[in-house]
Homo-oligomer: A and B are copies of this chain.
Amino acid sequence: MSDKAFHGNFFEDFTLGQEIRHATPRTVTEGDAALYTALTGSRFALHSSADFAASLGLEEAPLDDLLVFHLVFGKSVPDISLNAVANLGYAECRFGIPVYPGDTLTAYSRVIGLKQTSAGTTGIVYVQTTGVNQLGEAVLDFKRWVLVNKRDPEAPAPETEVPELSEAVAAGELVLPVGLTCAGYDAELAGSPHFWEDYAPGERIDHGDAMTLEEAEHQMATRLYQNTARVHFDQLAANDNRFGRRIVYGGHVMSLARALSFNGLGNAFRIAAINGGRHVSPTFAGHTLFAWSEVLEKRELPGREDLGAMRLRTLATKDRPCADFPDKDAEGKADPAVVLELDYTVLIPRRG
């Protein structure tokens, strides 16, 4: 027998400053885009139509931002989080150069923080992961931190280093695609009459629609991203976990919440940044997802009168409509139906 199969890195395998090149390189295609539509029902015009993309000054329809996120994230899983007890959070996620069919994505991560937990059997690993295209241009950059098991509980603790993380990506750091213009934005074709000017901080939007999840769907999505985290695929092992179920990849929940948000945010055509996110509780096949959003902040973009940025907080719930905006209670405890809380920044056209 041999030990050629890889069982993932443990806490003591990571060192501060370490850089890890991830497998598997991926040439993205119109096939990936079609599957993303079939799996999420997304209707944002920019990603759906080459002609609409051209009307915004782009060469063709770029891949959905979250599809890019999942592909890059998926590459990091075997090296970073295969032995994760928990995905604790992510921050400073910034989308770069748009990704077009035919581009080839690769990814690498740098270890930017380490902290052994007090129990001594696990530790927190902080990484910065970057996805690049075939020209080496960054398409995505994010930080995340995961709680990882130690292989040997007796292994010495590394020096503690906890990186400082911004609460949100600053407006000046957002990447605007080269050539992007909303001067001729066709809101009717895009499917929403609401522009940047029409939203107000504090405004809450119930997205109204709903989507019931199936095992085959989340498995296909997660495999499309070549994400190998076993909890999404192995029902035999799941029979013995505390849920008894395969856990839906949190990114699939993000994508469904984003697709549901079209109804109310149909012109928010690009996610420019994800400031933070929490998978509040696990989602399983059979759950019906709903979503609502709160406008946290509106930001002007320097020198741009055709588009603005908007910071949003979108919550997804399971088996519970969002007409009354389920959220934290007085003690700050999340409503038990909430499965996702996502803080992100979108680009949206102005009336000019």
Contacts and interface: CB of A to CB of B under 8 A. Distances in A.
A163 interface: no
B204 A23 contact: no
Contacts of A85: none
Given A4-B205, A52-B104, A216-B216, 16 more contacts: A1-B206, A1-B325, A5-B207, A5-B208, A23-B190, A24-B49, A24-B190, A29-B31, A37-B223, A37-B224, A106-B189, A212-B215, A212-B235, A217-B220, A235-B286, A237-B288
29 contacts: A1-B203, A1-B206, A2-B264, A4-B192, A5-B206, A21-B188, A23-B45, A23-B188, A23-B190, A24-B45, A24-B49, A25-B49, A25-B51, A26-B49, A29-B31, A31-B31, A31-B33, A34-B35, A38-B220, A39-B220, A41-B226, A51-B134, A209-B228, A212-B246, A215-B216, A216-B216, A217-B220, A234-B288, A236-B319
A325 to B, nearest CB: 7
Contact of A24 (B27, B43, B134, B222): B43
A264 B26 CA distance: 20
| A interface majority secondary structure | mixed
Copy number in this complex?
3
Interface of A: 1-2, 4-7, 21, 23-27, 29-35, 37-41, 43-45, 48-52, 61, 78, 101-102, 104, 106, 134, 188-192, 194, 198-199, 203-212, 214-217, 219-224, 226, 228, 230, 233-237, 246, 263-266, 286, 288, 319, 321, 325
B23 A43 contact: yes
A237 B290 CA distance: 12
A59 to B, nearest CB: 13
Given A233-B211, A286-B235, A29 B30 contact: yes
A245 to B, nearest CB: 11
Given A49-B27, A134-B51, A189 B32 contact: no
A23 B266 contact: yes
Contacts of A31: 29-35
A59 B4 CA distance: 30
Nearest to A263: B5
A76 to B, nearest CB: 12
Given A31-B33, A31-B34, A206-B5, A212 B236 contact: yes
Contact of A104 (B49, B203, B211, B266): B49
A35 B23 CA distance: 20
Contacts of A203: 1-2, 4
A264 B2 CA distance: 9
Given A31-B31, A38-B224, A41-B228, A204 B235 contact: no
B5 A205 contact: yes
B215 A214 contact: yes
A151 B31 CA distance: 41
A233 B210 contact: yes
B188 A5 contact: no
